[in-house]
Amino acid sequence: MHLAPAGDRAVLVELGDVSASELHAFAASARAAPGVVACIPGHSSLYVIWAGTPNFETLVERRPLRPPISRENPAAEGGRRSTMPVAFAGADLDEFLARTNQTREQFLSRVRGITLTARYLGFRGGFAYLDGWPAEWAMPRRSTSRPVARGSFAIAGSVAGFYPIDTPGGWNLLGLTDANVEHAIAPGDEIVIEPVDEVHVAPAPKKAPLQLDYADVLSAPLATLVGAPDWSRIDRGVAPGGPFDDAAAALANRAVGNPSDAPLLECAMSGPRLRFRRDCVVAWCNQVRGVRAGDEIAFGRVTDGLRGYLAVGNRKGVVTEFAREDHRVIRAMRGPHDVEIGTIDCEVTPSIDRVGIRLRPMRPIDVKIPADLKSFGMQCGTVQLHPDGSLVAMGPDHPVTGGYLQVLTVLSDERWKLAQLAPGERMRFVVNQAHGLIGS
């Protein structure tokens, strides 16, 4: 067991060669450790997150001697068995066939009846990592992520999976299923592959329009209703969410008499246009005002950074102005992966949302990236190095797991700065603590 710090609130625990049942036993034990808010299984690792300062010693002390069979250890009990129809016509199928020296007919004959077993959940909601794909059919991840349609069947290394939603992804796309795979596969379940000629994937459900109990939404193209992070969602492969700039959100809530973690609107670039249904008090970009029922207000551009917060309450609360540091200088720790990287300047690309921010380093990062890297847990503030040379800093709606090198982790009280980065800006990561193993 090797432990490496992942920022100031988490640790990556590499377990070595463990079975699925052992992996889940270790995870159940870690979740019970004092102060732990989440434990994310990777292929052979755990990513353990604390509410405050980590207590690494408890993880070593709590290591189980053998995997218990319990409700918290689903892979040890076995799971359901189902057949999954797959039409093999993916964007990367021809490359896969050439790489594995097969014709399409040979592959379809060989893949029929292959049984895959769900090892753990991660990435996006309901994504199951499936063991059992033949090692001789392995392919490394793509050099960068790209849009992937829900239902896509893909591989990375010798691990397979079905994308449950439309999302960016870096796996090799071999086929498509029209079966419902969103939150449909659990650890321990067995999936039997059945090649078919074609599938008919229904259109994805339309996203429900934003609805508020205090106002009619006339326009809100870049607004998201956010509340306190929900760490229980991690076990389903869904990030905890929460405000990207939690300090600014708490300030807005307190200004209208709300609890610091009350739900509110997070708005990128500009605020919404609302028609209020009742009298209330609103806070927006350090301004607090009363509004009356029937008032129609177009909240303007965010005045400092990219994101602002609109809080609505019933009374004027504590209005505090505070000086903030330059959001373009962000302190981070090296790791959890052991990569020699120091202070680095980057340009913020237009690829930016609550999932993550793609950054273009101003100088190349000279690192040899393993071709067979397994997936690991992540958190808001994890910074990945992709094979195309870009860095991706994770936001609050980040993939729960990912298979690219994690070279930096933004310190917890610096993550708000990521929220305020805008496309075209130059920013700097200042690395103020070195990577190091902290236990074994």
Q: Tens of pLDDT along 396-430?
A: 999 999 989 999 999 999 999 999 999 999 999 99
Per-residue model confidence (pLDDT) at position 71:
43
Domains of the chain, start order = 2-76 (3.30.1360.40), 81-196 (2.40.100.10), 215-313 (no CATH), 329-433 (2.40.100.10)
Per-residue model confidence (pLDDT) at position 202:
83
- pLDDT at position 66 over 80: no
Q: What is the DSSP letter of 108?
A: H
Task: Determine phi and psi for 336, rounding to 5 degrees.
Answer: -75, -20
Handedness of CA 121, 126, 127, 132 (dihedral sign): positive
Render pLDDT for 265-280 as a digit per residue (tens, 0 to 9). Answer: 999 999 999 999 999 9
One-letter amino acid at 213 equals: D
One-letter amino acid at 402 equals: G
- pLDDT at position 55 over 70: yes
- Burial code (b: 16+ CB inside 10 Å, e: under 16) for 242-267 equals bbbbbbbbbbbbbbbbbeebbbbbbb
- pLDDT at position 73 over 70: no
One-letter amino acid at 431 equals: V
Instruction: Name the most confidently modeled range: 17-31, 75-89, 131-145, 411-425.
Output: 411-425
Q: What is the DSSP letter of 157?
A: B
Residue 76 pLDDT level (bands cut at 50, 70, 90):
very low
> HSE of 39 in the Cβ direction (CA atoms, 13 Å)?
22
Task: Determine phi and psi for 427, rounding to 5 degrees.
Answer: -135, 170
Render pLDDT for 164-207 as a digit per residue (tens, 0 to 9). Answer: 999 889 999 999 999 999 889 999 999 999 999 999 888 878 88
Residue 58 pLDDT level (bands cut at 50, 70, 90):
low
Render pLDDT for 209-254 as a digit per residue (tens, 0 to 9). Answer: 889 999 999 999 899 999 999 999 998 889 999 999 999 999 999 9
- pLDDT at position 88 over 90: yes
Better pLDDT: 138 or 439: 138
- pLDDT at position 372 over 70: yes
Per-residue model confidence (pLDDT) at position 230:
96
Nearest to 245 by CA among 55, 404, 416, 420: 416
- Burial code (b: 16+ CB inside 10 Å, e: under 16) for 268-293 equals bebbbbbebeeebbbbbbbebeebee
Instruction: Identify the three-state secondary structure at position 249.
Output: helix
Per-residue model confidence (pLDDT) at position 436:
55
Per-residue model confidence (pLDDT) at position 61:
62
Residue 356 pLDDT level (bands cut at 50, 70, 90):
very high
- pLDDT at position 50 over 80: yes
- pLDDT at position 27 over 80: yes
Which regions of 181-315 does DSSP assign to beta strands (E)?
190-196, 215-219, 223-226, 264-268, 273-276, 280-284, 287-291, 296-298, 307-313
The rounded distance, in Å, linking the Cα atoms of 127 and 175 is 16
Cα 127 → chain centroid: 12
Per-residue model confidence (pLDDT) at position 70:
45
